[in-house]
Amino acid sequence: MQNVLSYRHRVITEEDLVFIRKLIAEYPQASRWALSKKLCEAWNWVQANGALRDMVCRGMMLMLHRCGLIELPPVRWVPRVSPGQRNTPVLIEIDQAPLRASFVEIGPLQVCQVRRTPDEALFNSLMQHHHYLGYTQPVGEQLKYLVYAQGRPIACVAWSSAPRHLGCRDRFIGWDKQARLRNIALVAYNTRFLILPWVVVPHLASHILGRMARVLSGDWRRLYAHPIYFLETFIDPQRFHGTCYRAANWTVLGVTTGRGKADMTHQANRSIKQVLGYPLVRDFRQRLAQLGACSVPVQDQHDGIDGRDAKAAKSHRTKAPGAPGVITGAGHARTCPT
């Protein structure tokens, strides 16, 4: 091949094509799904937690098929709806009695990671029926949290893989392209933050963000076998102020270009968002710039940028304006006092 062929930054050589063609010939009755799994096993193409990267592999094989470089077996099953429309969460009824109290009065909070648990359905239902953007199934690595007070769910927080390209974030971190491609999995994106509409508790939102900063990296490591060093979120400044994030010491990094990840025209086609970030370790820049950053000791988790280490946090702190707090970031549901 004269031109370098690649998919998701993986270079595909002529030897790779020969191997894939031979694999397809060896298993003529195998489906595309089965072939992608066999190829991942043969190449040891796995995620940090050992799971096969078969979805990425299927995308690569489909690209090669469309380019005429390999011939895949016919499609055996076509979904009736797109993945984003599948399995719309059903309504799960819960206690909606108004909860108006001070932070002290509501008692201790329970923050529960519910991804891959029976309570994930409740999370999805609350997002679908009480968040103004509804529920969208995330792609890639993700965690979902329910926050309880007095035995009742009062908030939901969703995290997922970070966008691969984000100019203001990349400049703030200071990593080069190679380090970004290698370590983007060490950044988590806060996609949704919902305080349920019948809950009014001053300072609740910023407190939850602080709790998230303390537990997220450890929970991520348990599920995906790698830590998180940096958090980010988007805010639509035409709708929200992001006060609760600022009160939780998040830093404004800049704004998006408004073009989206699939841009082909280099022109804005959506609203411009403000980008906020929060480091989970003091030396996040050094760790994210290392090409081997994913292989870190278990003890190297969240180590202080959460209020427990005031000296380290000071350099990342942004003073919160004296306005009502807003549940914000990538689309958040309503104003509440923080």
Number of H helices and E strands in the chain, helices first, is: 10, 11
Does residue 278 register a pLDDT over 90?
yes
Query: 178 near 291, Cβ under 8 Å?
Result: yes
Kindly write down the DSSP assignment for every residue of 126-176, as one continuous string: HHHHHSTT------SSEEEEEEEETTEEEEEEEEEEPPS--HHHHHHHT--
Provide the pLDDT for residue 188.
98
> What value does the mean pLDDT take over residues 3-21?
90
Q: How confident is the model at residue 307 (pLDDT cuts 50, 70, 90)?
A: very low
Provide the pLDDT for residue 88.
86
Q: Where in the chain is the domain with CATH 3.40.630.30?
A: 98-314
Query: 19 near 35, Cβ under 8 Å?
Result: no
CATH number of 98-314: 3.40.630.30
> What value does the mean pLDDT take over residues 99-110?
96
Provide the pLDDT for residue 271.
84
Does residue 306 register a pLDDT over 60?
no
Does residue 320 register a pLDDT over 50?
no
pLDDT tens figures, 151-208: 999 999 999 999 998 999 999 999 999 999 999 999 999 999 999 999 999 999 999 9
| Better-scored residue on pLDDT, 224 or 262 | 224
Query: 276 near 251, Cβ under 8 Å?
Result: yes
Provide the pLDDT for residue 310.
33
Percent of the chain past pLDDT 90, that is, above it, reads: 69
Q: What integer best gives the mean pLDDT of the chain? A: 84
